[in-house]
Amino acid sequence: MTHYITFTHTPIGWIELQATDTHLCCALWVPEPGPVSNGILNPILQETVWQLEEYFDGKRTDFELPIQQEGTSFQQRVWEELQQIPYGKQISYQELARRAGNPKAYRAAGSANGKNQIFIIVPCHRVVQSGGDIGGYAYGTEMKRFLLQLEEQNSKR
């Protein structure tokens, strides 16, 4: 199976995108771009770049992309639930665990959230601590705060 790689520059820096012929499989923040796959930008990567641009411009509130990540059945449920959190809203790790089918597994839900390989598109940044504290984030709380504020501002338009 062929993997395609490209990089796109956004207001939060560089995002590495990886896709197969049929699915987006990775969207990760990187400090700088690396080599791309033979200069080929497949249709899924082109669409992803376009949708990310719309997201950062405040013109897109959800993504319509074929995605696929490798993970356990519980991780898959968590990632599916992340995509159901409305733009500009947040839920707690405990609520995420409940929605994924196991209310007591909030630590496992948090772990699955942290293993998400398609950030922003699978919006792991929308999960916060029960008391409303922002909580952790793989790319740091400053980036999480930026994404939450971006969505909050754009949802008021």
Q: Which residues are catalytic, by number?
A: 124
Beta 13-19 vs 4-10: how paired, if at all? antiparallel
Q: Is 32 helix (H, G, I), strand (E, B) or coil?
A: coil
Map 76-132 to HEC letters.
HHHHHHHCCCCCCCCEEHHHHHHHCCCCCCHHHHHHHHHCCCECCCCCHHHEECCCC
User: What angle separates helix 73-82 from helix 106-114, to the nearest 10 degrees?
Assistant: 80
The closest alpha carbon to 86, from 154, 138, 4, 39, belongs to: 154
Max CA distance (Å), the chain? 47
